[in-house]
Amino acid sequence: MINDVLCVILGGGRGTRLYPLTRDRAKPAVPLFAKYRLVDIPISNCLNSGFNRINILTQFNSESLNKHITRTYKFDQFSAGFIEIIAADQATDHADWFQGPADAVRKSLKHFGDPRIKYVCILSGDQLYKMDLRLLYEYHVSKKAEITVACNLIKPEDVSSFGIVGVGPDFRIKEFVEKPGSSAAVRRLNIGKDGMENYLCSMGIYFFNIDTLRGLLTRSDKADFGKEIIPEAVKEDKRVFAYEFDGYWRDIGTIKAFYTESLLLTGEHPPLDLFDENWPIYTRSRSLPPAKCLDSKIENSIIADGSILSSSQVAGSIVGLRSRIGAGTEIEESIIMGADYFETTQQLAENSAAGKINIGIGKNCVIKKAILDKNARIGDNCRIVNARGLDNHEDKDYLIRDGIVIVYKNAVIASGTVI
């Protein structure tokens, strides 16, 4: 284990771009790939890289994230490692909540007092990637850097969504432009070769010397790393370097990106391999029974533990923990997040007697291009297909964003409903 690095995972603010999946939970707690949470990705990257000192900074809707962390990640008493939540609080030196990523780290500096810590690795809680952070660490040390920014190569049409980095021959950063309007505004930063046009974008992963981090944050009230802290460090001629990561990396902080990148995992050769024993993605062990498929047809899909599919068809979809899918139901290109608990035999009988809908999806339903959040109750003969072809729409129990129907957590959709 590497003992002089503290990893800090940013828990995020309100996560408005992922609403309504963030309506009842923090962004890093959003369910992912049938059985995981978003936060499991950065944590797994840290642990697989040999970094086992991890703080997670939280503020908004953090209850489910706190539960997941405390129930999942436990080290024995002989380990120096830890994964701990640092929640936003009011103190004598400040009375307000975190105002942004840099402000969150600034107000948490008082908790980073271990004298063995020389470096701080700051990570985002809403990205998909597998990255050996030891290589970033070794690169940072070899460059005698004060700050290293992990970067990924992107195309011109994507520059408006990211911070664009301009580098010299030694990859020392000479310019940092946060979310330029178009590639024309940063064409001077093009690093493409042989007539190609490509740009280095910041991945939102930063490696700091802890003294440099303290100095930058304590003499400033700036709230954002990409917009303010990193550009200012470059202007002050700090030793700021770019580390080019050439693997798969995606920001999934929007509904469209979350939906698209999640369903890529249902393909034969997904960009993120969950079956790599040398780089496991850790999550909570629940001791659930295996999935059971009764007279059902499954194509290119992921079915999580505890699920029961009865005479149904599932294609190109992800079916989460404890899902129940009734006979005659068809699910296509959808994400079913499952349930937090099983309903007992007695509860099912009581629901039936009272005419209530059980957790799960009823009989003879059609679900296409949709996300059903946890504990949703879908009656019989429902069609959740965006029947009116809307791009965006909000209703009592569901929301449509970018043409994708998202049924709220704990929502009840009456039998025969067409969405």
d(CA 10, CA 28) in angstroms, rounded, equals 9
Residue with the larger pLDDT of the pair 283 and 94 = 283
Residue 92 has pLDDT above 60, yes or no: no
44-58, 81-95, 188-202, range with the lowest pLDDT: 81-95
Angstrom distance (rounded) from CA 217 to CA 196: 38
pLDDT at 96: 64
Dist CA 220 CA 228 (whole Å): 10
**How far apart (Å, rounded) are the C-alpha atoms in residues 168 and 271?**
30
Distance CA(127)–CA(108), nearest Å, equals 22
Look at residues 414, 351, 360 and name the one whose alpha carbon lies nearest to residue 383: 414
User: Of all residues in the chain, what percent carry a pLDDT higher than 70?
Assistant: 96
Pick the residue with more confidence: 42 or 93? 42
Residues 17, 255: contact at Cβ < 8 Å?
yes
In this model, does residue 90 exceed pLDDT 60? Answer: no
* Tens digit of each residue's pLDDT (9 = 90 or more) over 145-163: 999 999 999 999 999 989 9
Q: How far is CA 77 from CA 4, 7, 72, 138, 158, in A?
A: 19, 20, 16, 29, 46
Secondary structure (3-state) at 313: strand
Is there a contact between 103 and 223 (Cβ–Cβ < 8 Å)? yes
- Residue 44: CB atoms within 10 Å: 17
Cα angle: 168, vertex 171, 174; to 5 degrees:
50
CA distance 33 to 266: 9
CA atoms within 13 A on the CB side of 188: 8
CA distance 412 to 236: 56
In the CATH hierarchy, which fold is given to the domain comprising 292-413? UDP N-Acetylglucosamine Acyltransferase; domain 1 (2.160.10)
Question: pLDDT category, 11, cuts 50, 70, 90?
Answer: confident
132: tokens are: 């050996």
Q: What is the pLDDT of residue 194?
A: 66
Cα(151)–Cα(199) distance, integer angstroms: 9
β-sheet bridge partners, residue 202: 151
> pLDDT grade, residue 331 (50/70/90)?
very high
Contacts of 28 (CB under 8 A, 6+ apart): 9, 11, 12, 37, 38, 39, 56, 58, 65, 125, 126
Helices (H), 30-74: 40-48, 63-72
Instruction: Give yes or no for residue 94 having a pLDDT over 60.
Output: no
| 50: its two tokens | 């040999």
Which pLDDT does position 48 carry in this prediction?
A: 97
Does 111 have pLDDT greater than 90? no
Q: Is the pLDDT of residue 15 over 80?
A: no
Residue 294: per-residue pLDDT = 97
More confident of the two residues 324 and 92:
324
Residue spans of the domains in the chain: they are 5-266, 292-413
Terminal alpha carbon distance of the chain: 52
Q: What pLDDT is recorded for position 89?
A: 61
Predicted local distance difference test score (pLDDT) of residue 93: 56
User: 201 pairs with which residues across the strands?
Assistant: 152, 164
- Of the candidate ranges 59-73, 126-140, 347-361, 396-410, the one whose mean pLDDT is the lowest: 59-73
The structure tokens 């047809």 sit at 297
Query: Token digits for 348?
Result: 């099912």
The pLDDT value given to residue 26? 87
In the predicted structure, residue 126 carries a pLDDT above the cut 80? yes
Instruction: Annotate 260-293 with DSSP letters as a single string.
Output: HHHHGGGSSS-SS-TT-TTSPPP-----PPPPEE
Burial state string for 198-231 with b = 16 or more CB within 10 A and e = fewer than 16: ebbbbbbbbbbbbebbbebbeeeebbbbbbbbbb
- CA-CA-CA-CA torsion for 9, 10, 11, 17, nearest 10 degrees? -130
Q: Taking the domain 5-266, which CATH number applies? A: 3.90.550.10
Q: Is pLDDT of 377 > 90?
A: yes
Q: In the predicted model, what is the mean pLDDT of the chain?
A: 92
Mean pLDDT of 32-42: 96
- Are the C-beta atoms of residues 247 and 123 closer than 8 Å to each other? no
Q: At what angle do helices 101-108 and 210-218 cross, to 10 degrees?
A: 110
